[in-house]
């Protein structure tokens, strides 16, 4: 069992940022409105995520650590409302690190806690905590030293973690996110309204006021596929594409087709080595897109890639043209 979980961990947990992604997704699935992330040593020594969500009942703590055990119902594989549904993240992490879950539901008189180290779980014990869940991951990959060697150093791991949190935070503007670490990659993102205005405020919190100030609003629809968001004016560019944020049905994605469409849209107005800054949100019938191609990757598969590409290229070009660019 531990072996199987370690193999799964090899797929799902590539680095500290993957731990943060899984834990934050769980917190969001639990309905959290405040998510606090603390890291140490670039996340290799410590990742701790605390939420104010629904919590886990004491008698379900051990279940949360067993493989393919998920409390999230999957009625239709194409219509997944929860971010996670495989029941793989916690057992995987628990097989390669020291993991503690402390949780309390609204009904419970007190909190309870369980630990797992390199696949070995401890008995559930009473603990003190407010409603919600704290998951603490220490010494990531201590049980699989070969993987530790692939880590790029504290700085690079912190940057990757901060990037994951930013991507998620833009998708959930009404949730307060904080990220604190031992270096400068800290974030404090107060909750904003859960509407278009709130989303714009959150984008500005994450990317800086300069971005929406130097961007054109994008709004278009083709055959039931809706595109909204912001795309920078050609004078506001970056040397890499890291500041291109994309969402499909509210889920952060990093997708070649979308990146290619953005490049295509700016082909005539940007040199090849400059990249536009964008935050684009696609909404379409969930049956027309597969967002679960790979558990850890964030690429997607559209039923009609040409339609999506055409929509993005067309909408950005039209916005540029309307601005006289
Ligand atoms: P999945 O998210 O795919 O269900 P995980 O291994 O990530 O699988 O989590 C296992 C289960 O543990 C979840 O289905 C959920 O019931 C519970 N859980 C994990 N994290 C939290 C959390 N922060 N709040 C409430 N429940 C949680
Ligand atoms: Mg999960």
Q: Whose CA is nearest to atom 12 of ligand 1?
A: 64
Classify strands 289-290 and 244-248 as parallel, antiparallel or unpaired. unpaired
Give the total number of structural domains in the chain.
Answer: 2
pLDDT of 28 strictly over 50? yes
Q: Of 10-14, 96-100, 254-258, 279-283, where does mean pLDDT reach its minimum?
A: 10-14
Q: How far apart are CA 51 and CA 172, in angstroms?
A: 14
Pick the last residue of a domain from 159, 189, 219.
Answer: 189
Ligand (nearest to CA of 88): 1
Q: Based on the domain organization, do 185 and 222 belong to the same domain?
A: no
Q: Is residue 203 in some structural domain?
A: no
Let me know if residue 71 belongs to a domain.
yes
- C-alpha of 202 from chain center: 15
One domain, residues 138 and 22? yes
**For residue 7, is it left (φ>0), alpha (ψ between -120 and 50) or beta?**
alpha
Distance CA 19, CA 90 (A): 9
Is this structure's pTM higher than 0.90?
Answer: yes
Q: Are residues 287 and 255 in the same domain?
A: yes
**C-alpha span between 166 and 168 (Å, rounded):** 5
Window from 124-138, 171-185, 260-274 with minimum mean pLDDT: 171-185
Q: Are residues 62 and 92 in the same domain?
A: yes
Check whether residue 94 and residue 171 sit in a common domain.
yes
Indicate if ligand 1 lies below 6 Å from the C-beta of 19: no
Do residues 144 and 31 share a domain?
yes
Domain assignment of residue 58, yes or no: yes
CB atoms within 10 A of CB 258: 23
Shared domain for 72 and 109, answered yes or no, is yes
Query: Which residue, by CA, sits nearest to atom 8 of ligand 1?
Result: 87
CA distance linking residue 277 with residue 207, whole number of Å: 9
Based on the fold, state whether residues 41 and 131 are members of the same structural domain.
yes
Q: Which of 156, 189, 222 is the last residue of a domain?
A: 189
Among 71, 94, 124, name the best residue to mutate to test ligand 1's pocket (greatest count of ligand atoms within 8 A of Cβ): 71
Q: Which of 162, 189, 216 delimits the end of a domain? A: 189
Q: Answer yes or no: do 87 and 225 share one domain.
A: no
Residue 288: count of CB within 10 angstroms of its CB? 17
Looking up residue 168, the CATH number of its domain turns out to be: 3.30.565.10
How do 46-51 and 176-180 pair as beta strands? unpaired
- Supply the DSSP symbol for 233: -
Position 134 pLDDT exceeds 80: yes
Name the residue at shortest CA distance from atom 2 of ligand 1: 84
Centre of ligand 2 to C-alpha 26, Å, is: 5
154 Cβ below 6 A of ligand 1: no
292 CB near ligand 1 (under 6 Å): no
Structure-block tokens of residue 51: 């939420």
Q: Measure 189 CA to ligand 2 centroid, in angstroms.
A: 22
Q: Are residues 176 and 265 in the same domain?
A: no
> Which residues, chain by chain, have CB under 5 Å from ion ligand 2?
26, 84, 89
ipTM summary value? 0.99
Shortest-distance atom of ligand 1 to CA 87: 8
Q: Are 211 and 230 in contact (CB under 8 A)?
A: yes
User: Is residue 99 a part of any domain in this protein?
Assistant: yes
198 occurs within a structural domain: no
On whether residue 171 sits in a domain, the answer given is yes
The lowest-confidence range among 66-80, 128-142, 236-250 is 66-80
Do 50 and 164 reside in the same domain of the chain? yes
- Domain of 184 in residue numbering reads as 2-189
* CATH number of the CATH domain containing 243: 3.30.230.10
Mean pLDDT of 82-99: 82
Tokens 């995987």 correspond to 92
Q: Which residues contact 293 (CB under 8 A, 6 or more apart)?
A: 299, 300, 301
Q: Which pLDDT score is estimated for 294?
A: 65
Domain assignment of residue 296, yes or no: yes
Same-domain pairing of 318 and 289: yes
87 lines ligand 1 (CB under 6 A): yes
Model pLDDT for residues 183-227, shown as the tens digit of each residue: 667 999 999 999 999 999 999 999 999 999 999 999 999 999 999
200 lies in a domain? no
């Amino acid at each position: 069992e531990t072996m199987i979980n370690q193999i799964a961990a090899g797929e799902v947990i590539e680095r500290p940022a993957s731990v943060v992604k899984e834990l934050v997704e769980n917190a969001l699935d639990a309905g959290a409105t405040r998510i606090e992330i603390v890291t140490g040593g670039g996340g290799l020594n410590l990742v701790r995520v605390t939420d104010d969500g629904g919590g886990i009942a004491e008698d379900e703590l051990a279940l949360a650590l067993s493989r393919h055990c998920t409390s999230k119902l999957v009625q239709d594989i194409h219509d997944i409302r929860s971010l996670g549904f495989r029941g793989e993240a916690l057992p995987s992490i628990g097989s390669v690190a020291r993991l503690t879950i402390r949780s309390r539901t609204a009904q419970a008189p007190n909190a309870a806690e369980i630990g797992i180290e390199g696949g070995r779980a401890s008995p559930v014990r009473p603990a003190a905590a407010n409603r919600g869940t704290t998951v603490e991951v220490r010494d990531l990959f201590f049980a699989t030293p070969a993987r530790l060697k692939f880590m790029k150093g504290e700085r690079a791991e912190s940057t990757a973690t901060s990037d994951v949190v930013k991507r998620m935070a833009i998708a959930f503007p009404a949730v307060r996110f904080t990220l604190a670490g031992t270096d400068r990659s800290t974030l404090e993102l107060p909750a904003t309204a859960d509407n278009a205005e709130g989303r714009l405020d959150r984008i500005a919190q994450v990317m800086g006021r300069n971005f929406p100030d130097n961007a054109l609003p994008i709004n278009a629809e083709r055959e039931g596929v809706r595109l909204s968001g912001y795309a920078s004016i050609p004078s506001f560019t970056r040397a890499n594409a890291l500041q291109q944020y994309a969402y499909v049905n509210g889920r952060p994605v990093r997708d070649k087709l979308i990146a290619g469409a953005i490049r295509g849209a700016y082909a005539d107005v940007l040199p090849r080595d400059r990249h536009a800054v964008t935050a684009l949100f696609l909404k379409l019938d969930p049956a027309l897109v597969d967002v679960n191609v790979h558990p850890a990757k964030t690429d997607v598969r559209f039923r009609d890639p040409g339609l999506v590409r055409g929509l993005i290229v067309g909408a950005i070009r039209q916005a540029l043209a309307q601005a006289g660019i």
